[in-house]
Amino acid sequence: MKTTNDSGGDVRLTGIGKTYGAFTAVHPLDLTVPQGSFFALLGASGCGKTTTLRMIAGLEEPTTGTVHLGDQDVTHLPPYKRPVNTVFQSYALFPHLDIFENVAFGLRRRGIKSVKKQVEDMLELVQLGEQARKKPHQLSGGQQQRVAVARALINHPKVLLLDEPLGALDLKLRRQMQLELKRIQTEVGITFVHVTHDQEEAMTMADTVAVMNAGRVEQLGAPADLYENPRSTFVANFLGTSNLIEAEVDTRSGDDIVLRAGGGKLVLPAARCTAPTAAGGKVLVGVRPEKISLTHADDAGSIPEGRNRITGTIADASFIGVSTQYVVDSAVCPELAVYAQNVERDGRLVPGAEVVLHWSPAHTFGLDADQDIDAGVGSVEEEAA
Amino acid sequence: MSTLTEAPPPLTPAAPAKKPPRRRGRWTPYWLLLPGLLWLVVFFALPMIYQASTSVQTGSLEQGYKVTWHFATYWNALGDYWPQALRSVLYAAAATILCLLLGYPLAYLIAFRAGRWRNLIMILVIAPFFTSFLIRTLAWKTILADGGPVVGALNTLHVLDVTDWLGWTAGDRVLATPLAVVCGLTYNFLPFMILPLYTSLERIDGRLHEAAGDLYARPSTTFRKVTFPLSMPGVVSGTLLTFIPASGDYVNAELLGSTDTRMIGNVIQTQFLRVLDYPTAAALSFILMAAILLMVTFYIRRSGTEDLV
C-alpha cells in the first residue's frame, strides 16, 4: 500500500497476533489508526487489548504479523528505538527521581542537554509547574497520572499509547481527566491509542473505537455508529444496553423485513440487518431502551400506525432523576428495558400496569440469531460492580 | 506521651479536661517491653559494661585485676596492633567488594530471570549454612592447597605471577596468603550480601524497566539509571552485613592465613585466650567497635539511602 506524506504517524497492524503456548491472546488482526486520531481499544479484561497495545510499544513480540509506524516497519525494533511512548497503567513513575527528572528522562536518554525549558513547558501543560521538585509518592493519583502523560508526551512521539490510564482514579477525577486528555490530544495533535474497559470512557474520548472480544476485533467505527449499528450481540450488549428479541422472518416488503415475534409483527429496515433474511430464518431484533416509548394499555389507540409494538406488564420502575428506567415483562421477551425521559410522567405507569411498548422501525437493528444472545452482558455488569 | 496519662493541671479550669485513662493501664506498655528490656540488659548491656571495666583495669592474673582507669591500655593496644587493625579493614573491604561483584549478578538473576528456578537457587544460596562455618572454611584449605587443581590452574594461566607481584600471594602458593584469607571471607559472607540484594531487587516493579525502555533507555542505561539506584537499600545493607562481621572475623585468617595475615580478630582472640591480657583484648574490642561505628555512619550518610523509598 502506498502511503502519502501526511500518513507519517499512521499505525498499521498487519495480521498481527500473539499466542502464549496454547493460548491465543490476540488472533491475527489488521488495524489502521490514522495519524492524529484518538483511537480506543475497548473490551473486557483479558480480551487482548493490552497485548495489542504492548505489541505496538514493542514490549511484546508479536507471534505473527507486522507493525508499521508510517512507512517504517518497527516489528522487530526494541522499545527504546521506537518513536512511541506509553502511559502505563498505574503510571510506573520512577520513585527515586523527582517529577522534573521523571519528565526529563526521555529527553536525557536521547542526549538532549538543555531540557529545562521543555520540561517546564510540559509541566505547565499538565498544570504541575509547582510540583517539579516533589517525588512521585508525594503527589495524588490524578497528579501522578498527569506526570505520566507529561513524561510520555515531552518526547513528541508519533503515537502515544495509553494503557488504562484512568483505571486507578475515582469516578469524578476520571471524568475530569477524560476531558483533560482530550484537550491535550487536540492541543498536541499526536495520535493517541487508548486501551480501556470503560465503554463510556471510550465513547466520550475517542474518534474511533475498536471493540475487542476474546482476542478479536468485533467491530470498529465511530462511537455513535457502533452504538446505533452494532453488528454482533457482544457489541450490542457491551456498549450500553440492548433489548434483543428473538423473531422469525416472515416476508420482505420493499426495503423492510417483516418479522413475527410471539403473536405480533415487527418491521426492520433491511439495511440495518446483518443476518441472513430468508423467510422462516431466525433473527435477533434489537432496539435500544431509550428509543422505546411506553403507553398505558388504555391509550393503545393513540399510538400512530406503522410503529413496532409489543404488549407487556411493568415489572419494575426505578426513578433516577433525568429518566425513569422500566423493566417490562412481555410474552415475546422477558425483562425488556425501557428508559423514559421524565418530561411528562404518566402516573399510571407503575409496576403491574399493562403497557404497550412502541418504537419507530427505523430504530430497529437485526442481528444473526446464531450467536449468544447474552454475549457481553456479564462484562458490563462486572465493570459496573 | 506522658501528658495524656497525667491528671490535668488543676489550675486551668478553662481547659476541658480529658478524662485521664484508668491508672491500671498506664504501665501496661512497660510491662510488655520488659522481656525485651531484660534480654537487652543481660545479653548486651551487662557484657558491655563488664568489658568496658575490664579494658581500664590493671594487674596480673596472679594478683588479680583492679579498675584503675588506665586508659593508656587503649593507646598501647592501638600502637602495638594498628597494622592488624588496618589489615582487617582492608581484607574486609576487599571481601565486601568481591561479594558485591559476585552477589549482585546472582541476586539480579534470581530476582528477574530465574523464573521457576528461583526457589531452588535461593535454597542453594542458603544451603552452606546447614554445615558448620568451621568445616566449610577448612574445606577451602583443601581447595586452595599447594599443588591442588586451583593453584595448578592459576599457575598455568600465570595469574599467580601477577598476584605474587601484587603481594596477594607468595611463592606460587595461595594458602597462607592474603588472597586465601580474602577468598575465605568472600565465600563465608556471600549469602549475607545476596539476601538483602535479592530482597530489594525483587521489590522493584517490573513496569519501571518497561517504562525506562519505552523512554529510550537501552538495557544498560536502564540498569544504571533505574535498577541500580532502586537497589541501593539492598547494596547498603548487604555491604554492611558483609563488612561488619568480616572485619571482626578471625577464623578465616586463622585457618587460611599465616602470621603475616593476622587480623584484629586474631589478636583479640590471642590476647584473651593465650596471653590472657584481658584489658588489652577488651580495649581492642572497643576500638574495633568504635571504628566500625564511625565507618558505617560515614558510609550511610554518604550513600544517602534515607532518601530512597
Domain residues for A327?
242-384
Q: Is there a domain that residue A276 lies in?
A: yes
Select the more confidently predicted residue: A53 or A300: A53
Q: SS3 for B190?
A: helix
A56 touches A193 (CB < 8 A): yes
Q: Is there a domain that residue B15 lies in?
A: no
Tell whether B45 and B136 lie within a shared domain.
no
DSSP state of B9: P
Select the more confidently predicted residue: A304 or A378: A304
pLDDT in tens, A242-257: 999 999 898 888 888 8
Say which amino acid occupies A27. H
pLDDT exceeds 60 at position B306: no
Q: How many C-beta atoms surround the C-beta of residue B118 within 10 A?
A: 16
CATH (domain of A118): 3.40.50.300
Tell whether A196 and A320 lie within a shared domain.
no
Say which amino acid occupies A162. L
Chains A & B: contacts with CB separation below 8 Å = 65
Beta bridge partners of residue A324, listed in sequence order? A319, A340
What's the pLDDT at B191? 95
Nearest alpha carbon to residue A140 among A158, A156, A153, A127: A127
Last residue of a domain, one of B67, B97, B121: B67
Residue B309 and residue B307: Cα distance in Å, rounded? Answer: 7
Last residue of a domain, one of B67, B102, B127: B67
Last residue of a domain, one of A174, A201, A228: A228
Q: Is there a domain that residue A233 lies in?
A: no
Confidence of residue B101 (pLDDT cuts 50, 70, 90): very high
Residue of A nearest to B209 (CA): A92
What's the pLDDT at A132? 93
> From residue A218, how far is each of A209, A212, A215, A225, B71 by CA, in Å?
11, 5, 9, 14, 87
What's the pLDDT at B305? 60
Say which amino acid occupies B104. Y
Tell whether B120 and B47 lie within a shared domain.
no
Which residues 97-126 of A are in CB contact (within 8 Å) with B?
105-106, 109-110
Q: Is there a domain that residue B271 lies in?
A: yes
pLDDT exceeds 60 at position B36: yes
What's the pLDDT at A274? 85
Q: Is there a domain that residue A236 lies in?
A: no
Q: Which long-range contacts does B45-48 make (Cβ < 8 Å, 24+ apart)?
A: none
Strand-pair category, A191-196 with A38-42:
parallel
Tell whether A161 and A214 lie within a shared domain.
yes
Which residues 285-304 of B are in CB contact (within 8 Å) with A?
none
Tell whether B164 and B47 lie within a shared domain.
no
Tell whether B199 and B298 lie within a shared domain.
yes
Last residue of a domain, one of A181, A200, A228: A228
The domain total for chain A is 2
A159 touches A127 (CB < 8 A): no
The rounded mean pLDDT for chain B is 88
pLDDT in tens, A55-96: 999 999 999 999 999 889 999 999 999 999 999 988 999 999
Q: Is there a domain that residue B6 lies in?
A: no
Alpha helices in B109-218 (DSSP H): 118-126, 133-143, 149-156, 159-166, 178-202, 206-214
Residue A161 and residue A151: Cα distance in Å, rounded? Answer: 12
Of A88, A109, A155, the CB nearest to B207: A88
Q: Is there a domain that residue A237 lies in?
A: no
Residue of A nearest to B308 (CA): A96
Tell whether A264 and A217 lie within a shared domain.
no
Mean pLDDT of B200-221: 94
Calculate ∠ Cα A46-A51-A56, nearest 5°: 155
Tell whether A249 and A215 lie within a shared domain.
no
Tell whether B30 and B85 lie within a shared domain.
no
Tell whether B152 and B198 lie within a shared domain.
yes
Tell whether B61 and B85 lie within a shared domain.
no
Residue A284 and residue A237: Cα distance in Å, rounded? Answer: 13
ipTM of the complex model: 0.81
What's the pLDDT at B3? 41
- CB-facing half-sphere around the CA of A163: CA atoms within 13 A: 24
Tell whether A90 and A175 lie within a shared domain.
yes
Last residue of a domain, one of B67, B89, B119: B67
- B207 interaction partners in chain A (CB closer than 8 Å): 88-90, 92
Residue B217 and residue B223: Cα distance in Å, rounded? Answer: 9
For B195-212, b where at least 16 C-beta lie within 10 A, e where not — what string?
A: bbbbbbbeebeebbbbbb
Tell whether A193 and A257 lie within a shared domain.
no
B200 touches B305 (CB < 8 A): no
Q: Is there a domain that residue B173 lies in?
A: yes
> What's the whole-model pTM score?
0.80
Q: Is there a domain that residue B149 lies in?
A: yes
Tell whether A29 and A171 lie within a shared domain.
yes
Tell whether A96 and A118 lie within a shared domain.
yes
Confidence of residue A160 (pLDDT cuts 50, 70, 90): very high
Residue A324 and residue A329: Cα distance in Å, rounded? Answer: 16
Q: Is there a domain that residue B110 lies in?
A: yes
pLDDT in tens, A166-186: 887 888 888 888 988 898 898
The rounded mean pLDDT for chain A is 89
- B223 interaction partners in chain A (CB closer than 8 Å): none
- With CB atoms and an 8 Å threshold, state whether A110 touches B205: no
Tell whether B103 and B189 lie within a shared domain.
yes
Which residues 63-92 of A are in CB contact (within 8 Å) with B?
78-81, 84-86, 88-90, 92
- CB-facing half-sphere around the CA of A20: CA atoms within 13 A: 7
Tell whether B102 and B27 lie within a shared domain.
no
The domain total for chain B is 2
- With CB atoms and an 8 Å threshold, state whether B210 touches A92: yes
Residue B60 and residue B116: Cα distance in Å, rounded? Answer: 62
Select the more confidently predicted residue: B9 or A331: A331
Tell whether A161 and A285 lie within a shared domain.
no
Q: Is there a domain that residue A46 lies in?
A: yes
CATH (domain of B162): 1.10.3720.10
Mean pLDDT of B61-66: 81
Q: Is there a domain that residue B288 lies in?
A: yes
Residue A120 and residue A132: Cα distance in Å, rounded? Answer: 8
Nearest alpha carbon to residue B100 among B307, B308, B303: B303
Last residue of a domain, one of A206, A228, A250: A228
What's the pLDDT at A188? 87
pLDDT exceeds 90 at position B178: yes
pLDDT in tens, B132-166: 999 999 999 999 998 888 898 988 888 888 888 88
- B307 interaction partners in chain A (CB closer than 8 Å): 96
Q: Is there a domain that residue A192 lies in?
A: yes
- B220 interaction partners in chain A (CB closer than 8 Å): none
Q: Is there a domain that residue B4 lies in?
A: no
CATH (domain of A311): 2.40.50.100
Tell whether A204 and A271 lie within a shared domain.
no
What's the pLDDT at B17? 52
Tell whether B127 and B47 lie within a shared domain.
no
What's the pLDDT at B166? 87
Q: Would you give the distance in Å from CA B87 to the centre of its chain?
A: 16
Tell whether A29 and A94 lie within a shared domain.
yes
What's the pLDDT at B163? 87
What's the pLDDT at A383? 42
Q: Is there a domain that residue A271 lies in?
A: yes
Residue B225 grid coordinates: 539509571
What's the pLDDT at B52? 92
B275 exposed, middle or buried (CB, 10 Å; 0-12, 13-18, 19+)? exposed
Q: Per-residue DSSP letters for A293-359?
A: EEEEGGGGGGSPTT-EEEEEEEEEEEE-SSEEEEEEEESSSSSEEEEEESSS--TT-STT-EEEEEE
What's the pLDDT at B7? 45
Q: Would you give the distance in Å from CA A36 to the centre of its chain?
A: 18
What's the pLDDT at B12? 46
Domain residues for B245?
81-307
Tell whether A355 and A250 lie within a shared domain.
yes
Mean pLDDT of B190-208: 94
Tell whether B135 and B44 lie within a shared domain.
no
Q: Is there a domain that residue A269 lies in?
A: yes
Tell whether B176 and B233 lie within a shared domain.
yes
Of A59, A84, A155, the CB nearest to B210: A59
